[in-house]
């Protein structure tokens, strides 16, 4: 972990959380995805063997793991070369125990509203996570913050706790939170509602894909927290429903993703409308030249806190499933899903159409699946997400954009049914499993050559 003034350090490596050094030889021994019949939903025995070149054996397709002849990079896909494929195969090496993080602070140490403290405890938070431990004291002092942290590190509470306290201490203070996706905005609002219980205010969500009328009405009540996606926020500004000069604080959550999604102009317009002497908190999972430029543009002398942990990847057992030419990868997926161990599976596809079709085909095969992608209405996406979260379906098939930032507890497996576009997307995808102290598994389908 790093902590320091922005001026004094570069603060990042420009890599997508480069925590997964290729080490596929390091996982030894044979492993079974539960071949015991009583643990399986279906009847087909299924095994994977660890280590290089092992077989996902026994099946007619003989899909396997290991080496295949190298091929040139395909257009817009990561994982077409052997060097890239090796990055999908880092095995969890559980040889040494990670040192337990000992926070410097307890929640009780923070000089925050007593009721807020009680709400934090009531939510079951015992100790601050590293990002909370390091950033909350600075945020409470009103300092600008750059948090290099991904979803799963507790970054949401890292900004919500000091900002709720601020709203309690400074009457009339209003907070704007920008997030890349509707789902993330809704999650932030839900977390806010938990912390703000009984404190006399709530936030509102301003996202696209939902009717703008109720959002305009909600804004008339001057909510203390407005959480939205840049496009809709700008729309609301243009309609004069959202007056940003009232806001003294702004959070940019997952700024790197907002940049990737082409929100940069909207972000600039929104921030340019806000007061210059505002309080700005900026969170990004990755550091790049563009992100560095944005930090220079939007923040003033920020404290930089990096918790780009290795934990996410260390908790994730990664491997590839090689599908020989001519074999049907859908059947491979169906086969895998027969295994009881695959009980909460997030499956990634590349296109909205493909994702929709895959979910339907799985359901037709009695593997209950929901889909989440940009062609679905906001309500349908939330319903799909809730069904998956609560175990009503075993699989959620998603596009990258739709799944970004989702916090779904206890995902057992991430399956890259289609290859991701970039290694960064890969890291984001697999980061949906292996959260908190859980172990997770990530399997990437690689088509035969």
What does the alpha-carbon distance between residue 24 and residue 100 come to, in Å, rounded to a whole number? 26
Closer Cβ to ligand AMP, 121 or 141, answer by number: 121
Q: Does 219 bind ligand AMP (CB under 6 A)?
A: no
DSSP letter, residue 55? B
Task: CB nearer to ligand AMP: give 70 or 121.
Answer: 121
- Residue 124 CB, shortest distance to ligand AMP, in Å, is 6
**Residue spans of alpha helices (H) in 75-154:** 82-86, 114-122, 130-140
**Residue placing its CB nearer to ligand AMP in the complex, 153 or 412:** 153
* Out of 17, 40, 87, 155, the residue judged to bind ligand AMP by CB under 6 A: 155
Q: How near is the Cβ of 278 to ligand AMP at its closest, in Å? A: 22
Which residues does 95 contact at the CB level (< 8 Å), separation at least 6? Answer: none
Which residues 87-126 are close enough to bind ligand AMP by CB under 6 A?
Answer: 125
- Report the residue from 119, 143, 151, 416 that binds ligand AMP according to the rule CB under 6 A: 151
| Residue 420 or 431 with smaller CB distance to ligand AMP | 431
Complex with ligand AMP: residue 274 or 287, whichever CB lies closer: 287
| Secondary structure tally for the chain: helices H, strands E | 16, 16
**How do the residues of the chain divide into helix, strand and coil, expressed in percent and rounded to 5?**
35, 15, 45
Shorter beta-carbon distance to ligand AMP: residue 157 or 291: 157
To ligand AMP, the closest distance from the beta carbon of 135 in angstroms equals 12
d(CA 26, CA 246): 56
**Residue ranges in 128-147 that form contacts with ligand AMP under rule CB under 6 A:** 128-129, 132
Query: In angstroms, what is the minimal distance from the CB of 193 to ligand AMP?
Result: 12
Query: Half-sphere exposure (CA, 13 Å, Cβ side) for 51?
Result: 6
Beta-bridge partner residues of 225:
175, 203
CB of 407 to ligand AMP, least distance (A): 4
DSSP symbol at 90: P
C-alpha–C-alpha distance, residues 394 and 390, integer Å: 10
- Residue written as tokens 């054996």? 57
Q: Which of 407, 439, 447, 448 binds ligand AMP (CB under 6 A)?
A: 407
Using CA atoms, how far apart are residues 58 and 416, in angstroms rounded to an integer? 22
Return contacts of 215-223, CB within 8 angstroms, 24+ apart: 215/241, 216/241, 222/174, 222/246, 223/174
- Site residue total, ligand AMP (CB under 6 A): 12
Among 11, 79, 154, 228, binds ligand AMP (CB under 6 A): 154
Report if residue 284 touches ligand AMP, rule: CB under 6 A: no
Among 20, 90, 119, 153, binds ligand AMP (CB under 6 A): 153
User: Which of 159, 303, 175, 300 has its CA nearest to residue 248?
Assistant: 175
What is the rounded distance in angstroms from the CA atom of residue 144 to the CA atom of residue 278?
A: 9
CB of 72 to ligand AMP, least distance (A): 38
Cβ distance to ligand AMP smaller for residue 151 or 412: 151
How far apart are CB 384 and ligand AMP at their closest, in Å? 19
Q: Does 152 help bind ligand AMP (rule: CB under 6 A)?
A: yes
Tokens of 204: 């509102």
Q: Is 378 in the site for ligand AMP (CB under 6 A)?
A: no
Can you tell me which residue has the tokens 């809709």?
232
For ligand AMP, which is the closer residue by CB, 242 or 281? Answer: 281
Name the minimum Å distance from CB 107 to ligand AMP: 8
Strands 48-49 and 30-31 come out as antiparallel
**Does 156 sit near ligand AMP (CB under 6 A)?**
yes
Q: How far apart are CA 447 and CA 444, in angstroms?
A: 10
Q: How far is the CB of 269 from ligand AMP (least distance, A)?
A: 27
Return residues touching ligand AMP (CB under 6 A): 125, 128-129, 132, 151-157, 407
């Amino acid at each position: 972990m790093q902590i320091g003034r922005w001026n004094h350090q570069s603060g990042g490596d420009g890599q997508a959380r480069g925590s997964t050094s290729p080490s596929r030889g390091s996982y030894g021994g044979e492993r079974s995805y539960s071949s015991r019949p009583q643990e399986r939903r279906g009847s087909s025995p299924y095994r994977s063997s660890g280590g290089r070149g092992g077989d996902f054996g026994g099946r007619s397709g003989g899909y396997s793991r290991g080496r295949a002849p190298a091929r040139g990079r395909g257009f817009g896909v990561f994982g077409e070369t052997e060097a890239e494929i090796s990055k999908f195969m880092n095995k969890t090496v559980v040889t040494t125990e990670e040192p337990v993080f000992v926070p410097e602070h307890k929640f009780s140490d923070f000089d925050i509203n007593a009721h807020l403290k009680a709400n934090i405890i009531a939510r079951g938070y015992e100790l601050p996570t590293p990002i909370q431990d390091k950033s909350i004291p600075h945020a409470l002092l009103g300092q600008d913050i750059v948090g290099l942290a991904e979803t799963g590190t507790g970054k949401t509470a890292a900004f919500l706790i000091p900002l709720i306290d601020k709203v309690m201490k400074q009457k009339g203070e209003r907070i704007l939170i920008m997030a890349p996706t509707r789902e993330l905005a809704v999650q932030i609002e839900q977390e806010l509602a938990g912390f703000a219980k009984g404190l006399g205010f709530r936030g509102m969500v301003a996202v696209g894909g939902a009717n703008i009328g109720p959002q305009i009405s909600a804004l008339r009540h001057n909510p203390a927290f407005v959480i939205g996606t840049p496009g809709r926020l700008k729309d609301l500004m243009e309609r004069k429903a959202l007056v940003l000069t009232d806001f003294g604080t702004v959070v940019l959550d997952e700024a790197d993703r907002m940049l990737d999604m082409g929100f940069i102009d909207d972000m600039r317009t929104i921030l340019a409308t806000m007061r210059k002497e505002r309080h700005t908190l900026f969170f990004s999972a990755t550091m790049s030249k563009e992100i560095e430029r944005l930090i220079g543009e939007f923040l003033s002398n920020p404290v930089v806190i990096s918790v780009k942990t290795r934990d996410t990847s260390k908790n994730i057992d990664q491997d590839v499933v090689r599908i020989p030419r001519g074999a049907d990868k859908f059947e491979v997926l169906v086969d895998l899903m027969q295994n009881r161990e695959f009980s909460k599976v997030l499956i990634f596809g590349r296109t909205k159409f493909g994702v929709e079709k895959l979910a339907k085909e799985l359901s037709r095969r009695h593997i209950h699946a929901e889909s989440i992608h940009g062609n679905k209405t906001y309500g349908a996406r939330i319903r799909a997400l809730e069904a998956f979260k609560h175990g009503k379906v075993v699989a959620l098939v998603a596009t990258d954009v739709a799944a970004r930032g989702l916090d779904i507890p206890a995902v057992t497996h991430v399956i890259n049914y289609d290859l991701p576009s970039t290694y960064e997307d890969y890291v984001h995808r697999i980061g949906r499993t292996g959260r908190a102290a859980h172990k997770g598994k990530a399997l990437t389908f690689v088509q035969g050559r």
